[in-house]
Chain A
């Protein structure tokens, strides 16, 4: 099942023995989306649609959107309209996660989604099935947390690039297989010898980001990405389902309480204290703030977020991403940014 956005309740899919697949882009220039998506929307959502139009996800049996921003919604609709796929489903995920009405409402939306999944697989999902789905996701999340723990020390035991491969592959691979691999990794991590300098410890934060070439470049010029706040990283796996008798309610509550996408982060700001806590826990020295061009949700947060970083004495660098990123130019900017960490104050 192709998942548009990280708010799709994968627990329900796994309960139905369906493989959730996060639909991501390919970072290649393309010219197929113009008739369906106006150029003022983010490059990520256009890249995603391009994959559908080019038939690169032709193995999907269905697609699901869990409502978040307007941009990715259009990729879903255009996919539904112009790419042949047997099933499609739109979950009206609430945007106000801060109201007490949100979980009860989302519970009803997830119940409808469960009925849809039952139709897709042709059988009823029992509590045992749901428990299995919840357990698979929770185990996977817990293991990712354990791996992230190894990034907290003076010498992070894995790079930001490796962490990105880990989280993004978790969005595609069967959860149990992925968890089994992570268990093996966890056995090896304590004895791992890192043959690289850690350099400056960075947080990456912002719009959707699965740009491995970019992270690789950053880590090649004297830095290590020790933690992130991305929907392809911590925002996706950070919290677990707290199981109660009403499984669907518990799942709904998990998605309401997870670290929010900025489009759902109002009236209060829940994101920023969480991000500052990540900085503290992972001993972050600087932040790279990434924004996909035209990404309104993040554009609305970047100014106040950078102010928050300033107030916490965390220097930040802002970079705007397109489908392909100008690695050479960004390298110069990242190097200049990193230079400030090596210089002691004269006064």
Chain B
């Protein structure tokens, strides 16, 4: 069976928004704005309380962009190694640091120095990444520890620990910038974040449809907004447009892959310099309909009454009006602590269960696990996932690689593994 397919209408806007995000950051000072650096999981809603002219640079997606530019990435990695850092450290961090050392911005021009660093910490690398950035750039630094355990065990003391740090963080922001903090702007940002992350889950949910309206490779270009700034209104609005387009594609029977006959999912970051892996799968009629990474790093989910996984109900949808700083921070902390991608930092069996759930609910044929040497955080417990999924009779293919260091990816070997996996799934090349 051959489905209809067409290019995504939101594509050009996605490109435009992403370019604008990076150029806004680079030129923020020309407009008297503030820029901060940190992580994709930083509580970016909080600095928005400093004003409308606050621009973040989140390290992981910036580093992923570098990794995609293979030659520049090698230059950055080598610059980091030349400073004496170990080659097995987080490859996003090494790309970022390299760009900083070289004083080369991936999009042209010098590396724009941040006004402060604003991070959060769940992986051993987080706190240290920006500690070094802050020392190197001589900027103030604040980092919020969120490693209080899986959401199922969250209680008042755990929530309070995170919220107390957020309050300290606001004091830090006022001191670091000399600006007065505006709680109204924080409240708007928190609502935006909940809307964006819940809408993204809705988009992922729509990919249950057969044929899938979106494939994983395209998803990377869209999920990224939730990593650049999940509390930004413009991005939350854009996700609603994407969701509507997905609904429209489903209604009209538009597929991401016209030959879809096998549905897969992967787990963590892809090897960014080798996204052609996904195109190779298509030769077999196999489409990756997403990954735990794209679904769960940006999307916020909940159990629905029928037992399935669905977008978490936002405070606005639940009729909750946020009125105070403390209430906003508590909602923000609770919302983020339920982030699925944070759960398996504590226990890989949670990731196994989530992947099995996606396998069942999205009606998949198999799972790909990336033994990703570039990320100690998301590879944590990955052998347990392999073991657990196999025990559950899920067909699993694993491949070794590195999301941000192309020197650690064996393309031919990975393609061979895909060939044998496809053979196991009884699939032959279509063309």
Contact = CB atoms under 8 A, between A and B. Distances in A.
B49 to A, nearest CB: 19
B123 A81 contact: no
Interface string B80-106: 000111101110000000000000000
A217 B359 CA distance: 54
Interface in A25-44: 34-38, 40-41
Interface string A218-251: 0000000000000000000000000000000000
A94 B161 contact: yes
A266 B124 contact: no
B141 A105 contact: no
Give the one of A37, A38, A78, A262 with max B CB within 10 A: A38
Contacts of A81: 349, 384
A52 interface: no
B348 interface: yes
B144 A92 contact: no
Interface string B337-360: 000000001111100000000000
A52 to B, nearest CB: 14
A69 B127 CA distance: 12
Interface stretch (B29-37, B51-59, B128-136, B292-300): B128-136
Interface in B306-358: 345-349
A158 interface: no
A299 interface: yes
B89 A299 contact: yes
Nearest to A307: B84
Nearest to A34: B383
B217 interface: no
* Contact count band on B: 35 or more
Contacts of A294: 88
A74 interface: yes
A303 interface: yes
Contact of B135 (A78, A108, A262, A304): A304
A93 to B, nearest CB: 9
Given A40-B88, A70-B123, A77-B348, A96 B381 contact: no
Contact of B157 (A38, A108, A263): A108
B119 to A, nearest CB: 9
A262 B168 contact: no
Contact of A303 (B83, B88, B148, B345): B83
Given A77-B381, A100-B168, A304 B145 contact: no
Contacts of A101: 160-161, 164-165, 168
B131 A267 contact: yes
Nearest to A93: B147
A92 B384 contact: no
B157 A36 contact: no
Contact of B142 (A36, A108, A264, A267): A267
A9 interface: no
A99 B146 CA distance: 12
Contacts of B5: none
A38 B383 contact: yes
Contact of A300 (B128, B142, B382): B128
A36 B384 contact: yes
B379 interface: yes
Given A299-B88, A301-B128, 6 more contacts: A35-B387, A70-B376, A90-B149, A266-B143, A300-B89, A304-B135
5 contacts: A38-B379, A40-B371, A105-B148, A108-B158, A303-B84
Interface of B: 83-86, 88-90, 121, 123-125, 127-129, 131-132, 134-135, 141-145, 147-149, 157-158, 160-161, 164-165, 168, 345-349, 371, 373, 376-377, 379-384, 387
7 closest cross-chain pairs (CB), A and B: A96-B145, A300-B128, A105-B161, A101-B164, A266-B127, A108-B157, A299-B86
